[in-house]
Amino acid sequence: MKILVTGGTGFIGSHTCVKLLEADHQVVIMDNLVNSRQEIVSKIETLGKKNVVFYQGDIRDTKRLEEIFSNHHIDAVIHFAGLKAVGESVSIPLEYYDNNVNGSIQLLKVMKKYDCKKIVFSSSATVYGMNDNVPFKEDYPLSTTNPYGATKKMIEEILQDLYVGDPEFSIALLRYFNPIGAHPSGLIGENPNGIPNNLLPYVAKVASGELEQLSVFGDDYDTIDGTGVRDYIHVQDLAEGHIAALEYIKNNQGVEAFNLGTGQGYSVLQVVKAFEKASGKRVKYQIVDRRPGDIGSCYASTQKSKNILRWEAKLDLDTMCFDAWNYVQTFKNS
C-alpha cells in the first residue's frame, strides 16, 4: 500500500515509517518540521532500506495536500501531525484547536475528494479525562482536562461522524499512552526543538548535563510514591501497533478505538531511577506544584488490542530507558 504519513519525521511518525518500509509499504511523508528535522528523512531511509517521498507542508494547506494526493495514489493515511504538549495547550489553546482540529478537517476533506477512505488516527489517553478508574478501557465515557486532550476528543468525534455520513470509511483511533525509548540503532529518537515538554527527553537532558534539574509536578497524588503514574510504552512497540491497525482497516470498515499501552503504570520517580540505572548518571530533580490538567494515574486496558489487532507491547522500562540513553549518546556524538 502507498501510505501518507502526516507528521512522519516526528518521534512516533519516524519510527512508524521505518516499520512501514520494513513491511514493504510505500511511504509519503508530509511534515511542517515545526518540531522535527528534515535530516530524519534520510535516517528513515537508512533504517528502512528504501526511499520515501517527502513533502514539507502544513496539513492546513489544502493546496499542498491536493498536490500530494494528485501526484500519488494514496491508499491510506496515518495521521500524526499535530501539536502535542498538555501544558503548552493550556497556555496557547487557540493554536492547538487551529492546528489539530482545523488541520484534521482539511486533511479529511482532501481525502474524501480523492476517494481515500482509510485512516489511522493518532489519538491519546488524554481523552479519558479524570473521572474513570484505571485501567482505562475503550468503552469508557470520554472527557478531557486540557485543550490538547479536547482536540483529540473532537477529532475522534469528527471521524465518528464522518463514518456515519460515509460508511465506506475505515478508521482506527489509536489512544496511546506515554511513548518513550528510541530505535535501538540510536539513529532516531525523541529530540524535540527547545525545552522538552515530555518526561523522558527532559530526564535525558538532565542526565547529559544540558539541563540542571527535572521539575516533578506534584508528590501528593494517591500513587506508590506520590508522583504521577503513567503507562510508558516503547516507541518501537507503538510503531508496531500502527502496522497492526493498518492491517485492520485494510479489511474492516467502520470506526474502532484501540488503546496502545503496556497495561502497567510507572511513577515519575520510578522512571527517574530506571534512567539513572540505564545511563549511570544522577538525575537531579525537585518537587514542584501539580501541573494544570494533569491526573494522578493513567494506564491502559490492553485486552481489546490483543484480541482484535493481535498486538501487544513486549519491551520493558529498562529497555525503554537504555534505548533512549543510547540515542542521546549517539546524537551527541554524531
Adjacent-strand bridge partners of 76: 3
d(CA 216, CA 143): 25
For the CA atoms of 192, 196, 199, 205, what is the dihedral angle to 10 degrees?
A: 90
**Sequence-ordered strand ranges (E) for the chain:** 2-6, 26-31, 53-56, 76-79, 118-124, 170-176, 178-180, 214-217, 229-230, 232-234, 254-260, 266-267, 285-288, 297-298
A 10 A CB-CB count for 190 gives 22
Q: Cell triple for residue 257? A: 478505538
- Residue 163 bears catalytic tag: no
d(CA 312, CA 263): 10
Cis amide bond preceding 167, omega within 30: no
Cα 162 to its chain centre, rounded Å, is 23
| Among the listed residues 48, 238, 229, 257, the one whose alpha carbon sits nearest the alpha carbon of residue 138 | 257
Give the length of the chain.
334
Q: Cell triple for residue 7? A: 507528521
Adjacent-strand bridge partners of 136: 300
Burial of 90 (0-12, 13-18, 19+ CB in 10 A): middle
CB of 187 within 8 A of CB of 256? no
d(CA 15, CA 8): 8
Q: Which of 55, 97, 128, 148 is catalytic?
A: 148
d(CA 272, CA 268): 6
Residues 6+ apart with CB under 8 A from 139: none
- Catalytic residue numbers, as ranges: 148
